Amino acid sequence: MTNQPPFILVAEDDKFYGSIFKAKLTKEGYEVIVAINGEEALKAARIKKPDLMLCDLIMPIKDGFETLKELKADPKLKDIKVIVLSNLGQDSDIDRARALGAHDFFVKTDLSIQDVVDKIRSNLAL
Amino acid sequence: MQATTVQIFILVFTSLLVIGVSIISYLFSIKKDKTWFYAYATMLMILVQWMSDTGSSLIYQNYFLHLASIILFPSIIFSLFIIYILQGSRSVRQLLYMLLIGELGYVISVGFLSLLGNTPSYIQIGWPWISNHLFSSLAIIIDYFFLLAIWPIIHNPKYKLPLFIKVWLVCWILLIMDSLIFTLGTFWDNPIIYEIIMSNIIIRSILSVIITPLISLYVQYTIKENGDNIAYRRWDSILGKNEEIEIAIQESKEKVDKLEKLELEMTQRNIELENQRKAIANILDDVQKDKENALNLAEELRRFKIAAEQSNEMIVFTDAEGIVLWGNKATEVITGFTKEEAVGKKAGVLWGKLMPKEWYQDLWKTVKIDKKIFVSEIQNHRKNGERFLSSFIIYPLLDSSNNVQFFVATQRDITKEKEIDRMKTEFLSVAAHQLRTPLGSMRWNIEMLLSGDLGDLGVLQPEVKETISSIYDSNRRLIDLVNDLLNVSRIDQGRVSENPQPTDINTVIVSVLKDLKPLTIEQDIKLIFNPINIPNITLDSKHLHEVISNLLSNAIKYNKKSGSVELTTKLTDDIVELKIIDTGMGIPEVDMPRLGSKFFRAENAILTQTEGSGLGLFVAKSYVEAWGGILKIESKIGNGTTVTISLPLTPKSHILDKNLEAKPHTTI
């Protein structure tokens, strides 16, 4: 996959965030798909397994926690690295997401968009 | 008047008198009423003597009658004398006085008659009459002493004389003595005196032969009647030879002693009784006061009961074992148990038993052993099984000997409060999410705009670029504010979880300095920090980062242009001390007390319009204090501020524990 750009799956219901992720990450050279809820994200992941997944927590139809749970329950998908990017920042949320297998957890407003790119980069490098 | 008639009358009358006196005297002496006896006998003697003398005077120089009066007088005296002694007199001396009074009374009564002019011619004789009586008195006195002398001889048991003989001897000897005395009068050279005295002698001599045997027989008879030898003893006692008297005196003395003792006892007893009376009076007084106090207390209690009854808080009185004695209306409302159902049962069993065992052990130890107030939050259940949370206070009421007598427990149902709290938290997290979402996308959009990610904006006019920058700053400030608000609400609710790890304070400081570098450059602040070796502190590094960041950003923001901020660390014993010294505007003294309270900003900080929410210091202080540390601020207006935080190497952090459904109790 040397020529193949890394595939980033973003689960994000907010269209503004969605477009920012799409624009920024594409510009950074990643292949990006933005799913507008957990259900869609899982579907997309099953079609093409992403190298990394960014996941929001509060989403319609299927929220981030549910999505994480299902993802980690699926033997084919369970090794996908998931970075939770949410605006929920309570410890209980963080703990719950980590318990469900989230690789990292960030509050969106705590990071600049460049920070997000850096986190993705460092996670993919691992 | 015929002499013979008068003679017979006087003789019969006087004889009757003698017999009468004897009988009366005897009866009186039996009754032992001596006073009456003396008085009566004395009066009779005076009367008899006067009558005999008067009789003789009626027929002046009638020798026979004169003799009769002379005979009668001593015979009466002797009769009295003997009867008196035998029937209970204590002393011959008393008899002597009686006889002398009799003689004196006679002299006075005759003297009185002479004043009336009806003077017996007999008296006109003068000296012979007086001398007769003088001799009589003398004879009585001498008889007395003589009797004292001869009685022991006559009565000596050695001679074993019969009583009859004894008495006869006494009388006989006495009469001889009298005759001898009267004989002295014969030396007086006066025919009348001679005549009178001689007649006395003759009469007494006859008397001693005729009368004394009669008296002796009388005495014998009397004794026989009494049946024992009382007479002897009486003679003994009369003549002063009696042990009985001494014994009697001794007995009397003892009796007197006893009486005195008794009197003393009575006096003491009286004093005791008086004291008792006073004590009882005092008690009655106290009882009265107690009654008034009790009435006042009852009134107070009545009012208190009304107040307690109407309280919204549940108030329950229990005995020392926790058995419910009384509960107010709120108890019924909150627990669902009626008073009748609750009273007499254990409160803990009725609506309790939901807390951990240790909690109950702690409660009983505090109130029963330490006898202190116990304050906590408690989960109980209602009659229908529904659970409720209440803020709970229980305190012991002690009796005078400091033993627990009652417990008073108050509970306020805070289930609703807790629900509201929960909703508030939920709201905050949702609100935070909702606020953060647009703020975040705004931030990233501006970042992308500025970095050209959305395409080249060409050469922007500096004003436009500046405007976009200020929008970005405002956006960042809003994000910070939202974060601060979230932090504050979490701290308020104790919902901050600590993840204590060994943390190197120097690393944290360096990280904060790096974060704040842009701000430092912007404000042209010189940062001075020379790290020294400090052991790791066990706490949540994220929170320590926040604390230092908040304090340091304050030091930078409120500094003067081109000022400096110095950070120093120090380790004393197990306390790490971090000082942040700035050269800023300082804090007005009036604002110092409110420093560190939520949303508070000092007057001069607001005036300079430096951005800030007034939450940073509150958050920092909350964390430091939660770790058991101290945050201290020293400042002088215009001279900068020094913030010192002191942290123990092993801070406690349980207050930040999020599992605070029931807060740990406090003991007052």
Contact between B331 and B382 (Cβ < 8 Å): no
Asked if residue B419 has pLDDT above 90, the reply is no
pLDDT tens figures, B632-651: 888 888 888 899 999 888 77
Query: Given an 8 Å threshold on Cβ–Cβ distance, is B445 in contact with A107?
Result: no
The whole-number pLDDT of residue B542 equals: 82
The whole-number pLDDT of residue B640 equals: 86
Q: What is the mean pLDDT of residues B19-39?
A: 56
Quote the crossing angle between the two packed helices B230-238 and B127-155, to the nearest 10°. 120
Does B94 or B587 have the greater pLDDT score? B587
**DSSP secondary structure code for residue B3 in this structure:** H
Q: Give the per-residue SS3 of B244-298.
A: HHHHHHHHHHHHHHHHHHHHHHHHHHHHHHHHHHHHHHHHHHHHHHHHHHHHHHH
Query: Given an 8 Å threshold on Cβ–Cβ distance, is B444 in contact with A113?
Result: yes
When CB atoms are compared, the residue of B432, B439, B454 closest to A23 is: B454
CB contact A24 to B (< 8 Å): yes
Strand A52-55 vs strand A7-11: parallel, antiparallel, or unpaired?
parallel
The whole-number pLDDT of residue B203 equals: 59
Return the closest-CA partner of residue B601 out of B554, B640, B566, B549: B554
CB contact A109 to B (< 8 Å): yes
With a cut of 70, which residues of chain A have pLDDT below it?
Answer: 1-3, 126
> CA nearest B478 in A: which residue?
A109
When CB atoms are compared, the residue of B436, B437, B441 closest to A20 is: B441
Query: Could you write out the DSSP letters of every residue in B294-333?
Result: HHHHHHHHHHHHHHHHH-SSEEEEEETT-BEEEE-HHHHH
The whole-number pLDDT of residue A52 equals: 92
Does A58 or B61 have the greater pLDDT score? A58
When CB atoms are compared, the residue of B438, B448, B658 closest to A24 is: B448
The whole-number pLDDT of residue B537 equals: 87
Residues of A in contact with B656 (CB under 8 A): none
When CB atoms are compared, the residue of A14, A17, A109 closest to B479 is: A109
The whole-number pLDDT of residue B571 equals: 87
The whole-angstrom distance between B539's CA and the closest CA on chain A is: 16
β-bridge partners, B539: B501
Write down the ipTM of this complex: 0.87
Q: What is the mean pLDDT of residues B180-195?
A: 61
The whole-number pLDDT of residue A53 equals: 92
Look up residue B169 and give its amino acid: L
The whole-number pLDDT of residue A9 equals: 92
CA gyration radius, chain A: 13
What percent of chain B is modeled with pLDDT above 90?
2
Q: What is the mean pLDDT of residues B67-93?
A: 54
pLDDT tens figures, B530-565: 888 888 888 888 888 889 998 898 888 888 888 889
d(CA B413, CA B428): 24
The whole-number pLDDT of residue A10 equals: 93
Q: What is the mean pLDDT of residues B423-452?
A: 82
Residues of A in contact with B433 (CB under 8 A): 58, 86-88
> CA nearest B481 in A: which residue?
A109
B130-144, B199-213, B222-236, B289-303: the lowest-pLDDT one? B222-236
Query: Given an 8 Å threshold on Cβ–Cβ distance, is A16 in contact with B436?
Result: no
CB contact A91 to B (< 8 Å): yes
Asked if residue B128 has pLDDT above 80, the reply is no
The whole-number pLDDT of residue B360 equals: 87
In terms of average pLDDT, the best of B33-47, B187-201, B464-478, B581-595 is: B464-478
Asked if residue B109 has pLDDT above 60, the reply is no
The whole-number pLDDT of residue B460 equals: 67
Residues of B in contact with A107 (CB under 8 A): 436
The whole-number pLDDT of residue B479 equals: 86
Q: What band does B118 get if pLDDT is binned at 50, 70 and 90?
A: very low
d(CA A17, CA B330): 54
**DSSP secondary structure code for residue B346 in this structure:** B
Tokens 């033997």, residue located = A75
Interface of B with A (CB under 8 A): 429, 432-433, 436-441, 443-445, 447-448, 451, 453-454, 479, 482-483, 486, 490, 495-497, 658
Strands (E), B530-603: 537-539, 564-572, 575-582
The whole-angstrom distance between B473's CA and the closest CA on chain A is: 13
d(CA B615, CA B586): 18
d(CA B476, CA B223): 150
Contact between A5 and A29 (Cβ < 8 Å): yes
| Residue to substitute from A19, A86, A87, A105, interface B, most B β-carbons within 10 A | A87
The whole-number pLDDT of residue B540 equals: 83
Query: Given an 8 Å threshold on Cβ–Cβ distance, is A108 in contact with B437?
Result: yes
Cα-to-chain-centroid distance, residue B321: 31
| Residue to substitute from B425, B426, B427, B441, interface A, most A β-carbons within 10 A | B441
When CB atoms are compared, the residue of B432, B433, B444 closest to A20 is: B444
Contacts of B155 (CB under 8 A, 6+ apart): B166, B232, B235, B236, B239
pLDDT tens figures, B369-391: 888 888 888 888 888 888 888 88
Tokens of B61: 């120089």
The whole-angstrom distance between A45's CA and the closest CA on chain B is: 25
What percent of chain B is modeled with pLDDT above 70?
56
pLDDT tens figures, B527-536: 888 888 888 8
The whole-number pLDDT of residue B229 equals: 46
pLDDT tens figures, B421-436: 778 777 776 777 788 8
Look up residue B461 and give its amino acid: Q
The whole-angstrom distance between A20's CA and the closest CA on chain B is: 7
Kind and range of the H or E run holding A54: strand A52-55
Length in residues, chain B: 668
**DSSP secondary structure code for residue B537 in this structure:** E
B184-193, B278-287, B580-589: the lowest-pLDDT one? B184-193
Strands in A104-107's sheet, in edge-to-edge order, are: A31-35, A7-11, A52-55, A81-86, A104-107
The whole-angstrom distance between B629's CA and the closest CA on chain A is: 23
Query: Given an 8 Å threshold on Cβ–Cβ distance, is A87 in contact with B441?
Result: no
Strands in B526-529's sheet, in edge-to-edge order, are: B526-529, B564-572, B575-582, B641-648, B630-635
Return the closest-CA partner of residue B343 out of B362, B360, B363, B328: B328
Tokens of B582: 């700035």
- CA distances for B407 relative to B325, B397, B411, B595, B664, angstroms: 10, 6, 13, 41, 21
Asked if residue B120 has pLDDT above 70, the reply is no
CB contact A89 to B (< 8 Å): yes
Tokens of B106: 């006679």
Asked if residue B305 has pLDDT above 60, the reply is yes
The whole-number pLDDT of residue B650 equals: 76
Q: What band does B500 get if pLDDT is binned at 50, 70 and 90?
A: confident
Name the average pLDDT for chain B.
73
Strands in B314-319's sheet, in edge-to-edge order, are: B324-327, B314-319, B404-413, B387-398, B374-381, B666-667
